[in-house]
Amino acid sequence: MAEPQLDVKKPSGEHKQGDSNQQLPTDPGDNAKTADTCPELVLKVRIQSHKENDFIEVELDRQELSYQNLLQVSCYELGINPEQVEKIRKLPNTLLRKDKDILRLQDFQEVELILMKNGSSELAEYTPSLLEKPCYNSNAAKMTY
């Protein structure tokens, strides 16, 4: 008979569950704190391109956040050489220049790597693509019939 009395006392355990329900409003705050202390920062990264606009997600260790770390990890994930990168832009229009800028980034922000082309990005910006160039053969123009 003592056992049924213990079973009767188990509803007091339900009271404890009621207490845990009272703690639920504080759980979202706890979740926000754990998001801030999450060991990794996840960024969406892509290469600036007129043809391709897909992002990849890159994880950075929050303890080692720096401009160089962002550059190295992003380039590794995208399969490019860090020396090819001219600038890093936080979309839509903010250049990232120093470690302090990187520390302000939040999860899932979009970052774009701007690559140098042919050694001089200024020249490359004004160089028309093959589709924009007229087909012109200078040797054929010099030929006489």
**Per-residue confidence of the chain (145 residues) as pLDDT tens digits?**
555 554 444 444 444 444 444 444 444 444 444 445 678 999 999 999 878 889 999 999 999 999 999 999 999 999 999 999 999 999 999 999 999 999 999 999 999 999 997 654 444 444 444 444 455 555 655 666 5
CA atoms within 13 A on the CB side of 84: 13
Give the whole-angstrom CA distance, residue 69 versus residue 31.
27
Which CATH number applies to 40-115: 3.90.850.10, 1.10.10.10, 3.40.50.300, 3.10.20.90?
3.10.20.90
- The distance from CA 42 to its chain's CA centroid, rounded to whole angstroms, is 5
**pTM, entire model:** 0.57
DSSP 20-44: HHHHTTHHHHHHHHHHHT-SEEEEE
Burial of residue 144 (number of CB atoms within 10 Å: 0-12, 13-18, 19+): exposed
| Nearest CA-CA partner of 53 in 122, 110, 130 | 110
